[in-house]
Structure 1
């Protein structure tokens, strides 16, 4: 599978050398000339729980929920988490091999003690040796963690295992962009105590590869599983993906469920006290986040948000909480424009979204921003339609346009604010807006924004 390669140049290889007391593992980083080779150096206050969380993350990135078995080995080699060291937070993110399941471990300042040398994001490979080290950690045993620009190192006693940075696969880049758009529109659905959460998870069907549609229905202090859709129920498929949470629930304080009003995604957040574990699921196991188009609307109005992007990016500063309303007030810009700007920055790999705090956070994924266009072929097609003059306003209906396709001209409709409503093309008939707008709706939106720019003084 195609990956966007990023080159790292090291002055010398990492090495293990003897020092006055024992040995020192010197991990070389790529450039920067910082006096310390790591983002973070310190110890974890919840060794066992953090190790279990990272192991659960590794289970997600090492799993496949809808991938032909013949592709398994190649996918497992490509599955890599991303770690970000920001202001007051250490975050580990990753996807399953099919990109249908997103996981993130958030370590708050209460989860660690140590020194932050600098801020940044790096992509790393959690190999078998690292996973083995995580599985043997005991709660009473001190555990130190070092996060560097090019490696993640886990140290316990005299044993040290090092992870090296690797290229980020293409499907992951698309997934990271799409999942932020999904998470930003989720709303709290239910909250379960640790006891109720464990009972709920243990009561789920154990069938592997189950593609049936299920619904979660609030019932007292918990939720029950139903095969029948009802008002206020949360849609979910691929229940086996929730098993990742089982080892963590006994140590959790609560489990918060988040639902998508459109039924296209769900998120489960475990409150672990000093840390959190987030598990986000796409609506179907065969539909990975990387195959969706939820960020296309924001990209289509890039010209409009460009006026705030430079000042908005200057406000990121590795902040763990970026609220659109607060940023809008500070920048003197409309809140919706700032929100769309953050979504554009998300597509560029510069921000993520935390469902529990209902805010964006700064992180910079290591990939070439110039290639983002290749990740959104629908948007590229829409721009080609605009350049070809294939979009004309329908004088008989406000917000309506005629867009010429290859062989057919389609009638499309935008709402009063220029948001996509419907199109007469076959693609829209199959998917509506569940996978983002079609290229004809995007072309109409671009046409509107270009007209607004032409009318601007």
Structure 2
């Protein structure tokens, strides 16, 4: 499966007039003709240049980090997604191993500029750009312009141009799983600057193979190798060292736990800026391999609905499933399927602090739905080939035999909200990474019977 490729008609241009004025003309590409006529999405000053530059430098370090594979095995990726709209800029990225998701949110308070058009693009953060971020001081200007082809970061000392790059498929899949985990998060602790600094002093500096736990001891917090009551499990805790350079600048730190204990989130709060860090439960587990949304996709929705929503919502606009359901007379089950379908192709994100979804207009077609969800497609093949046999069914209990590979027959049992299977996927992951194809196929057959 190939990554998404984009083509652009011309190279972006920087026009410098006087010493105090720099004009930018950006090349970009969109499926919408009216968007192609827009030269620039955002242009303006950053009023907190030092904080923003440090956050973006941290984002770049995150994308270049490979926690599960030795350096040099994979080409380093530095291609954050930038979303412009709703009076904010969102920079999103995954670590190269896909086990860390990071987001830098710049709100209107730190943006002194003009939002010309909403849009979303991904770029490559090269070494020169990272050096430019690290060299920004609080006393100098930082002008930021975002376009669909290139993004420019200009300060008094450095001028760098970011070239448009490919958006990996695994990022699209990862974005879908990330918003599911974030929507389930519960706020566990709010730490002030002093408490956050003290907490991170207990963080292991070297890579650790065993789980650590965030524990509260009296009025203080610490990372410890053994749990206590109410502790938050953190696999690969050393990944959090990427945030060390931001602690002195942050006003507070919010820590979120997931009921499944499969993820944990840290949010550093600045004035008008947020840095979100979401960790998978270990460094070998990438977010792209999960399928948390698949259960809500066992029923198909009309493709024109997906296209219609994609044409209606703008980047960073609040997406309320309840309101969409009410305003369009869509029942709850269908709305869950629609929401999961949008998530699976990267169109929905989740804002932890505001507790709402936001829309992300990525320049690719929703027909990619099937190719990005092979487990779901394999489940559909099982039902199509009549390879699911219901053995027993009553009330909320279902037992089925499902054909596996190599002539093996797997047994699926669904009892209320609990589902299990005898396949290797379930043995290794249970339902923590989404349902296996055999359980999905069984649920499809049961739904067909009910309907």
Give TM-score, length-normalised by structure 1: 0.89
Indicate conservation of the 8 Å contact 1:84/1:363, yes or no. Answer: yes
Equivalences for residues 104-253 of structure 1 within 5 A: 104-157=103-156, 159-207=158-206, 209-253=207-251
Rate the CA distance shift 1:110–1:194 in 2: closer, same or farther, 3 A. same
Three-state SS of the structure 2 residue aligned to 1:184 is: helix
Give distance in 2, aligned partners of 1:252 and 1:23.
31
Give the aligned partner of residue 414 of structure 2. Answer: 414
Give the aligned partner of residue 387 of structure 1. Answer: 384
C-alpha deviation, 1:17, in angstroms = 4.7
Rate the CA distance shift 1:421–1:306 in 2: closer, same or farther, 3 A. farther
1:22-75 deviation digits (Å, cap 9, x = unpaired): 765543233646665211011111111011111110010011101133414x2x
C-alpha deviation, 1:221, in angstroms = 4.3
Give distance in 2, aligned partners of 1:414 and 1:349.
29
Give the aligned partner of residue 48 of structure 2. Answer: 46
Residue from 438, 441, 444 that aligns with 1:440: 438
Rate the CA distance shift 1:266–1:162 in 2: closer, same or farther, 3 A. same
Give distance in 1, aligned partners of 2:354 and 2:331.
21
Equivalences for residues 59-78 of structure 1 within 5 A: 59-72=61-74, 74=75, 76=76, 78=77
Give the aligned partner of residue 85 of structure 1. Answer: 84
Residue from 260, 263, 273 that aligns with 2:261: 263
Give distance in 2, aligned partners of 1:20 and 1:217.
56
Rate the CA distance shift 1:25–1:357 in 2: closer, same or farther, 3 A. closer
Give distance in 1, aligned partners of 2:89 and 2:335.
25
Rate the CA distance shift 1:141–1:367 in 2: closer, same or farther, 3 A. same
Indicate conservation of the 8 Å contact 2:203/2:241, yes or no. Answer: no
Three-state SS of the structure 2 residue aligned to 1:38 is: coil
Give distance in 2, aligned partners of 1:335 and 1:222.
43
Gaps of 5+ in 1: none
Three-state SS of the structure 1 residue aligned to 2:73 is: helix
Rate the CA distance shift 1:382–1:45 in 2: closer, same or farther, 3 A. same
Aligned length: 444
C-alpha deviation, 1:220, in angstroms = 4.2
Rate the CA distance shift 1:23–1:122 in 2: closer, same or farther, 3 A. closer
Give distance in 1, aligned partners of 2:47 and 2:22.
24
1:322-341 deviation digits (Å, cap 9, x = unpaired): 33344444444455653443
1:62-114 deviation digits (Å, cap 9, x = unpaired): 11101133414x2x1x3310000121221000011100011000111112111
323-332 vs 230-239, which deviates more? 323-332
Give the aligned partner of residue 291 of structure 1. Answer: 289
Give distance in 2, aligned partners of 1:28 and 1:408.
54
Residue from 359, 366, 369 that aligns with 2:366: 369
Give distance in 2, aligned partners of 1:372 and 1:211.
36
Give distance in 1, aligned partners of 2:233 and 2:404.
35
Give distance in 1, aligned partners of 2:317 and 2:246.
24
Give distance in 1, aligned partners of 2:24 and 2:309.
39
